[in-house]
Amino acid sequence: MARVAICIAAEYEDSELDVPRQRLREAGHDVVIVGVHAGRRVRGKRARSSITVDKAARDVSARDFDALVIPGGHSPDHLRLDTDMVDFVRTFAESNKVVAAVCHGPQLLIEADVVHDRAMTSWPSVRRDLINAGARWVDQDVVEDGPFITSRMPEDLEAFSEAILRQLGPAQRASLAS
């Protein structure tokens, strides 16, 4: 079983939290919601879901987790203003563990300065930001560059979730079959 941090702030894209979180839980992984303030309830931008932040970024370490997931919506834009969150994401990305971002999620990776020379995708409006930060933007439903996984939009969530589960490895996925 892997321990997965999902970075969230208000106005996240509802399905981009809900689908990967559900798939990870179904596979037996421990999911921890990381935000700016522990205990704060945040609502998705479509108001279809809300969630309570389990841990504040200042109180966690990359050593505590096996993977990091960054949903899109307006959440990454809010999170990139928090230095503790940016430091956590930067340290995590440098640890060579699974880092997955969908839609506007790569905005937080840009702020953490970890996208240079990586093949990535995103929501179309983030394309130029990724290119300006040194990434190679690719228009595909899911792009994997080493431990980095990126997807464009909610319609790509099944491929995105499958890539995360695949990178977490067969040992964790095999436990689902038993």
Structural domain spans, the chain: 3-168
Q: In angstroms, what CA-CA distances link 110 with 41, 94, 122, 131, 148? A: 26, 13, 12, 10, 13
Statement: residue 11 has pLDDT above 60: yes
| Separation of first and last alpha carbons in the chain | 13
**With bands split at pLDDT 50, 70 and 90, how would you rate the model's confidence at 10?**
very high
Is 3.40.50.880 the CATH number for 3-168? yes
Give residue 47's pLDDT: 84
For the question of residue 103 being annotated catalytic, the response is yes
Statement: residue 173 has pLDDT above 50: no
Average pLDDT over residues 124-143: 98
**With bands split at pLDDT 50, 70 and 90, how would you rate the model's confidence at 169?**
confident
More confident residue, 176 or 19: 19
**With bands split at pLDDT 50, 70 and 90, how would you rate the model's confidence at 178?**
very low
Give residue 175's pLDDT: 37
Give residue 48's pLDDT: 84
13, 68 contact by CB (below 8 A):
no
Statement: residue 177 has pLDDT above 80: no
At 103, give phi and psi (nearest 5°): 65, -110
Question: Which residue of the set 56, 103, 126, 143 is catalytic?
Answer: 103
Give residue 172's pLDDT: 40
Statement: residue 124 has pLDDT above 90: yes
**Rounded to an integer, what distance in angstroms lies between the CA atom of residue 174 and that of residue 178?**
7
Statement: residue 170 has pLDDT above 90: no
H helices then E strands: how many in the chain?
Answer: 7, 11
**With bands split at pLDDT 50, 70 and 90, how would you rate the model's confidence at 107?**
very high
